[in-house]
Amino acid sequence: MTNRLSLAWTALLHGKTAVRVVPTWQQGRAQSLPVDYKTLAADGYKRNELVYACISKRAQAYTEPRLKVKVGDKDAGDNHPLVQLLENPYPKISTAHLLKSRSIMLDIGGTAYWEKIRDRGGRVAQLAPIRPDRMSIIPGSDGIAGYEYTVGSYKAYFEPDDILQFNYYDPVSDFYGMPPLQICAAAADSDNQRTDFTRAFFMNAAVPYGLLKTKQALDRAETTRIKRQWKEEYGGVDNWHNIAVLNADADYQRLGLTQSEMSFPDLTNLAETRICMAFAVPPVLIGAMVGMEHSTYSNYEEAGRQFIQGTMVPMFHEFVDTFNADMADEFQAELEVDVSELKLLQEDRTAVFERATKAYIGGLVTLNEGREEMGFEEVPDGDEFKKPAPSPFTDMLGTERENRGETEEEEPVKSKAFTKSEADTARQLERIARAHELAFMKASRGLFDDELKELLSLLPKGRRKVDWLNLFMVSVDNALNGSRPKWITVFQPLIAAVLAEQGVALEAQFGISFDIRNPAVADFIQQYTYKFAEKIGDTTAKGVKDLIARAEAEGWAIPELQKQLSELYSGWDEWRTELIARSETIRASNSGARESYRLAGVQRLKWWTHEDDQRCDWCASMHGKIIGITESFWNQGDVMPHPTDPDKSPMKFDYETVNHPPLHGGCRCFVLAVM
């Protein structure tokens, strides 16, 4: 043995084949899959619930991380051939399907194949999955010489370069892998047999077969009659509860087990544990009894993280390594798997916000460093460390300097209604709101696009006149009402992010904490988002219904209504999404600020606006206005005369009561606490 290993090592050093993988007499002869793939699939994956759940859980996990194509250290563009191949690997087969089928075939058979279908130029143009039980490997003198594909009497042959093969490791196989289902097959069989036993119990009798004894001798005909009658009256699921009545000379003796006696909890738990252990899936994740007995929400989450980190991440990397070893030279690029966005691996957002906030307030990081940790974009003037919160003495000193006409290096505050620190806080709140506008705009644009697609799908086909509008109006109502919960789901975390970030600025200025984990704050965010979605939905419904009413009045055909609906939503994509982004970030920020002031016991509020050439006369007239915390700046239905020209049209507040800015669309004002 030592001499053979020495010869093999010497041959490897001199660039020669070290050892023959298979004996000479086996070379050129097709070797089929060494496991009974069909039996494992039929009795395991397609019959045993636990096996199916484990295999499906692992397969689904492959669709969650993002696959990236790299050329050197740079991301490949969308037009790179490998990117396009992964986006559309084969007709009517998605990348998710390709990855899931590979995982399932590996778990059942230990080996999986993708055929590399080439174009006329010899480039890989498609990837197609191939069942491993139909493929046989043809060994050569130094490895795999080819593949043989067999379906019935049909045979096809593939060159090694045209097949991408994936294997689990098998220590005694040169070409094939060892599936985890083979390891736990005995446990799965045992579990199946217990299931069969239970099924037979319910199919045959309320309790297992017993002995019916009589004092008198019975002939064969009488015995057959009694057995048939007993089974008809008391056998099967439908009759298990019927009461048996015996003659005085008859007695029933139970021979089998009752249902409770045959539950075998220890054996069931043992089988479940072994199956889950073979697949490295925590039992609680798939609802196995052995896992649910001690499950809680916290250990469910921890089990999920353990499954992704301990089981799937190594398998992700193994898949990528195998893929690149075979395909990197084909495309001059490599595949990478990005697990950073997997939800279970991401730290809780609230914990991230809290840590970043404390680090900023403690002076350990700059504002932009804290924002980066939260996943937000940088803001101007954000590369400085937090300054100590001003004291009342500092505010008084600042006011005295303003009264004496003294200025600092920064732009002075023109109005004496505000200290410089208050104005700085207002500007900081505006920068925070502006930084979230793009997310608000993208979210509203995506929701509008979804609404339009659904409305267009409700239009009947053909060119009939619009005489069915009453029915269509009902469908539109249902569709738009169903869209409102989607707005809540999408915007609630966006609004919470604005409020969490502005809490940093409020604590820096006033020492007021706005913790989004506070039940009162969480309830406020939920109620605010619901109200926001209702108003957006009402405006959308009015616009669509007005258009349908116009279609009815003018007798539009279906194509015309389709065109007008598309143009309506297209216009909203251009201006309404921007208005939502601009106004609702300001509204959410001010609404959250007012609520935080109220929770902190603040008694009075003050309106602040920019003192520049861009502010309007309406906002200028509100600058410095003070109200009580329970009061409103304007009530719904109030009319505000034009501040500088009484001949101009007034502003009517028919949208809502004005408890805080914005005063109008595009408003840049903020509300501050009077300390």
Q: Of the ranges 115-124, 215-224, 267-276, 548-557, which is most confident?
A: 115-124
pLDDT in tens, 384-434: 776 544 433 334 334 444 444 544 444 444 444 567 777 777 788 888 888
Tell me, what's the pLDDT at 647? 86
379 and 502 in contact (C-beta within 8 Å)? no
- Please state, rounded to an integer, the average pLDDT across all residues of the chain: 79
24-179+284-346 is a CATH 3.30.70.330 domain: no
DSSP state of 647: T
Which long-range contacts does 82-91 make (Cβ < 8 Å, 24+ apart)? 82/327, 82/331, 82/333, 82/335, 85/124, 85/125, 85/126, 85/127, 85/331, 86/335, 89/126, 89/127, 89/128, 90/117, 90/126, 90/127, 90/128, 91/126
Specify the higher pLDDT residue, 164 or 143: 164
Residue 124's H or E segment, with its range, is strand 124-130
Whether 9 has a pLDDT exceeding 60, the answer reads no
Q: How many residues does the chain have?
A: 675
Specify the higher pLDDT residue, 669 or 202: 669
Tell me, what's the pLDDT at 508? 60
Tell me, what's the pLDDT at 192? 81
Tell me, what's the pLDDT at 394? 36
DSSP state of 378: P
pLDDT in tens, 512-535: 555 666 666 777 777 888 888 888
Pair of tokens at residue 340: 């950073």
DSSP state of 409: S
pLDDT in tens, 629-645: 889 999 888 899 988 88
Select from 542, 533, 534, 672 the least CA-distant residue to 602: 672
Confidence tier at 169 by pLDDT (50, 70, 90): very high
Domain ranges (residues) in the chain: 24-179+284-346, 387-601
Specify the higher pLDDT residue, 463 or 244: 244
Whether 257 has a pLDDT exceeding 70, the answer reads no
Work out whether strand 651-652 and strand 74-75 pair parallel, antiparallel, or are unpaired: unpaired
What is the Cα–Cα distance from 356 to 350, expressed in whole angstroms?
Answer: 10
Q: How far apart are the first and last CA of the chain?
A: 88
Least confident range from 24-28, 46-50, 318-322, 409-413: namely 409-413
Least confident range from 186-190, 454-458, 504-508, 648-652: namely 504-508
What is the Cα–Cα distance from 573 to 320, expressed in whole angstroms?
Answer: 40
Whether 1 has a pLDDT exceeding 50, the answer reads no
pLDDT in tens, 68-81: 999 988 889 889 99
